[in-house]
Structure 1
Amino acid sequence: MDQFKRDVQKEKPQLVVGLNRVGVKNIQKIIRIKNNEKENLFYSTIDIFVDLLPQQKGAHMSRFDETITQIIDETIQKKVMVIEDFATYMAEMARKRQHAHRAEVRIKAKYPVEEMAPVSKKKTQKINTIMGRAVSTKNGSRHLVGVETNGMTVCPCAQQMIKEYAEEKLEKEGFTKEQLEKVFKYIPMPSHNQRGTGILMIGSDKKIKAENLVDIVENSMSSKVLDLLKRVDELEIVRKAHLNPRFVEDVVREMVALTIKEFDFLSDDDYFLAKQTNYEGIHSYEVYAERSGTIGEIKKEIEKAENDYINEDYIVSCNNTSTEEWLDSDGGC
């Protein structure tokens, strides 16, 4: 039976009200995309949504998977795309197939990177995540490209308390301040550590390499982490991390600074999003920090702060564009 009398999805709902997002989440697919000038197969999870008109009962869910499958087939037969273009094309196709005003696609794909231990030079593998997010409307499309990777941080507060405690005890044992300064210069004080996950996403028409984003995230933490470490490597990573203590807030601010420095070609209208989650070692909770906004907004804020123009009335969330606002700005209402 190929034909049915009723298309229930097109019927009028009992309550006539529109929905912001309707679609499917966590679709697992093997996709073929380009990363670092190479074409590879990636294990990915995909979320795909459209907005739903008030007078329409439901979306045709099978069409979402049909859209994804069609694009996967096209990338096998035709030119392979980078993940942000893949997400944009998928959003455009979904919007047209569902007759929607707005469509959104989010893709996460895991990929391996060969790493080398800092001292022993042993080779090991690290798994990073590359991400693409795109919004399409009849007026245009915009996308974000980003990465997620792990590292470690060392708590500056606890380290300072240990240092002050050590100074007091050692001074009572006869050590001079000059001697203590020399000791603390070469021997970092202990502190509690956190393994952290950093996310950095950029919205721009210019091409952004995933490996450059990974470098920024890793360099924003106290140290990177690796699976294979010999004892000399473990010593080096712990030593380096404790010489570079950072709060979760420091990590996000460092991502801001490094992005502006390394990607000086970004325009004021391009977009920045950074998130950091640290998994506490001595607490049962996680700590989190985030910053988003256009490059122009962030640069302006930094300039104002350097010239003491920012006062207590400044509110970050009110003075910066949200991710949704930026993605929709080429095709909003």
Structure 2
Amino acid sequence: MIDVQSQLDHRNINIDKVGVKNIRYPITVMDKKNGVQHTVASINMYVNLPRKFKGTHMSRFIEILNEFYGHLDIREFSKILEAMQERLNAQSAHLEIAFPYFIEKNSPVTGTPGLMEYLCRVSGSLSDQDGYDLVVEVNVPITTVCPCSREISNHGAHNQRGMARLAVRFNRFMWIEDLVRIVEEAASCEVYSLLKRPDEKFVTEKGYENPKFVEDVVRDVAFELKQNEDITWFQVDVENFESIHNHSAYAFIERMR
């Protein structure tokens, strides 16, 4: 049968990334408490395409993914990227995996257990020019209490939920749980999936006694990461979904060791 993808293209333009997106696929994630955790990911796979080829072979991406079924985790990233490079005759390969990760958390006073969901992303790339690169990202819901509102108000202070995103490169593996804790400890208070009345009283008062701007949160996370010699690069941003304003508050820091 005619292989149209391998035919010559005469426009003389390289394509940086070509491939498949939004593949729903079961994966295994390393779990600090339980060893492993099974979840379902949304996967993107790309390679570069030299100017001489009309197209890439889309089916080969799925074939490679299927070969790693049952043991697709962060430890296999480099092997998958190598297979993509080899099978698709590419100089660079890219793999992005986004997935929900669940951590059991007890409420702070009554100790009631509940599962918290954190959206995570692992992005890897391999190229002849730049070598292997891996970025791990966690998205962590938080709560904050406005320091200015507390200072100027006779009663109470406005508070809101926010979303903190932390992405890191490291020279030694870091657990998702540890990255989540760094973010949660920088907030006015962390979020729980289940609270009884004594727990609700605790988190309300804890947040009030620990007011934070988005600027405070990103600085506290950055300060903690700068002390960790295993971190070689990080990005942290926080968006507060303001409760009394018609906009979000936002702050961002990126640093390289």
Give yes or no for TM over 0.5: yes
How far apart in 2 are the matches of 1:112 and 1:205? 25
**Aligned residue runs from structure 1 range 9-48, under 5 A:** 9-13=5-9, 15-36=11-32, 38-48=35-45
Q: Which amino acid aligns with 1:22?
A: V
Matched, 1:8 2:4: yes
Deviations 1:233-281 (A, max 9, x none): 11111111122121222211111111223x2x326xx111212222222
**1:324 corresponds to:** none
- Cα deviation, 1:132-162, whole Å, max 9, x if unaligned, reads 1111013521212232221111222222232
Structure 1: runs of 5+ lacking an equivalent: 167-188, 296-333
Do the aligned partners of 1:88 and 1:136 also contact (CA within 8 Å) in 2? yes
**Percent identity of equivalent pairs:** 30
Q: Give the match for residue 275 of structure 1.
A: 237
- The answer as to 2:69 corresponding to 1:72 is yes
1:239 aligns with 2:205: yes
CA distance in 2, matches of 1:280, 1:96: 49
Give runs of ≥4 in structure 1 deviating > 6 Å.
none
Q: Output the CA distance in 2 between the equivalents of 1:288 and 1:48.
A: 31
Distance in 2, matches of 1:284 and 1:106, equals 33
Pair 1:133 & 2:114 matched = no
- Whether contact under 8 Å (1:273, 1:291) holds in the other structure is yes
Contact (CA 8 Å) 1:274, 1:292: kept in 2 or not? Answer: yes
Aligned-residue offset at 1:287 = 3.0
Distance 2:115 2:203 in 1: 17
1:14 Cα deviation (Å)?
A: 5.3
Higher radius of gyration, 1 or 2:
1
Equivalent residue, structure 2, for 1:177: none
Q: Look up the equivalent residue of 1:33 and give its one-letter code.
A: V
Instruction: Choose which of 195, 198, 214 in structure 1 pairs with 2:180.
Output: 214
Q: Paired residue for 1:288, among 239, 246, 250?
A: 250
**How many angstroms apart in 2 are the aligned matches of 1:250 and 1:133?**
28
Report the residue type matching 1:65 in the other structure: I
Alignment of 1:114-133 (within 5 A): 114-133=104-123
Q: TM-score, normalised by structure 2?
A: 0.90
Q: Does 1:147 align with 2:138?
A: yes
